[in-house]
A and B are shown apart, each in its own frame.
Chain A
Amino acid sequence: DSGVTQTPKHLITATGQRVTLRCSPRSGDLSVYWYQQSLDQGLQFLIQYYNGEERAKGNILERFSAQQFPDLHSELNLSSLELGDSALYFCASSVGSGREETQYFGPGTRLLVL
């Protein structure tokens, strides 16, 4: 158990819908990263938050957005869903953002868009 929790574990929805994925980092971790794992794109970085502020953006679609709240949990919002958004979404957390630090991954949310 990494100490990072993600809800829900599974999500099935229809095209055009909007969903919210939730991540609770390990106690004391300030950084949250979101990654997408799909068969065709592999594991890709989406976005990072550090202590409530956006730190870096990767290949995140404009239909997707995220935020980190004062209690440090984070949410990833996916809207106008398409079939190709079906994937496993991971969040990871670390204490800060440094060379020696380890990112700890949650179990992921599996999203299926029908």
Chain B
Amino acid sequence: GDSVTQMEGPVTLSEEAFLTINCTYTATGYPSLFWYVQYPGEGLQLLLKATKADDKGSNKGFEATYRKETTSFHLEKGSVQVSDSAVYFCALSDPLMDSSYKLIFGSGTRLLVRP
């Protein structure tokens, strides 16, 4: 079945460092891809999305490009801030098998940014 694999955390960075969180996927159909962020004690918020190959999603300085050839959707940010400390989830939706746009999530990557 469909699945998402993302890098293990925690990732610890100093403020203003470059961030990459790797995400690869396996899908039967042609999925849409998402990054969600979960701040401590809160629900999930959509960070960015891409619905077709070579699309780049971007928001708040974060970017990710839908790479169909490598089945990847890596999250990047050029300069992280302490306020970016959170858990980041890569996810896909692939309605091919059951016509549902349910989300399939990776295991999450905790990011800790130190001042």
Which residues in window 84-101 of B have CB below 8 A to A?
89, 93, 95, 98-101
Partner of A42, one of B36, B100, B101, B107: B107
Contacts of B36 in A (CB 8 A): 105
Closest chain B CB from A102 CB (angstroms):
5
A33 to B98, CA, bound (A): 14
**Number of B residues, CB within 8 Å of A:** 23
Which residues in window 33-77 of A have CB below 8 A to B?
33, 35, 42-45, 48, 55-56, 58
Contacts of B51 in A (CB 8 A): 99-100
Considering the complex, give the chain B residue whose CB is closest to the CB of A108.
B43
Closest chain B CB from A16 CB (angstroms):
29
* Interface class of chain B by DSSP: loop
Contacts of B82 in A (CB 8 A): none
Report if A94-B101 is in contact (Cβ < 8 Å); known contacts: A102-B49, A105-B44: yes
**Is B68 close to A, CB under 8 A?**
no
Contacts of A42 in B (CB 8 A): 105-108
Report if A43-B43 is in contact (Cβ < 8 Å); known contacts: A56-B99, A58-B102: no
A105 to B95, CA, bound (A): 20
Residues in B lying within 8 Å of A, measured CB to CB: 32, 36, 42-46, 49, 51, 89, 93, 95, 98-108
- Give 18 CB contacts A-B under 8 Å: A43-B105, A45-B102, A48-B102, A55-B99, A56-B98, A56-B99, A58-B102, A92-B103, A94-B101, A97-B99, A97-B100, A98-B101, A99-B93, A99-B95, A99-B101, A104-B46, A105-B36, A107-B43
Contacts of A56 in B (CB 8 A): 98-100, 102
Contacts of A44 in B (CB 8 A): 105
A106→B103 contact, CB < 8 A:
no
Report if A90-B102 is in contact (Cβ < 8 Å); known contacts: A43-B89, A43-B108: no
Contacts of B101 in A (CB 8 A): 31, 94, 97-99, 101, 103
Contacts of A2 in B (CB 8 A): 43, 45
Partner of B32, one of A31, A99, A106, A107: A99
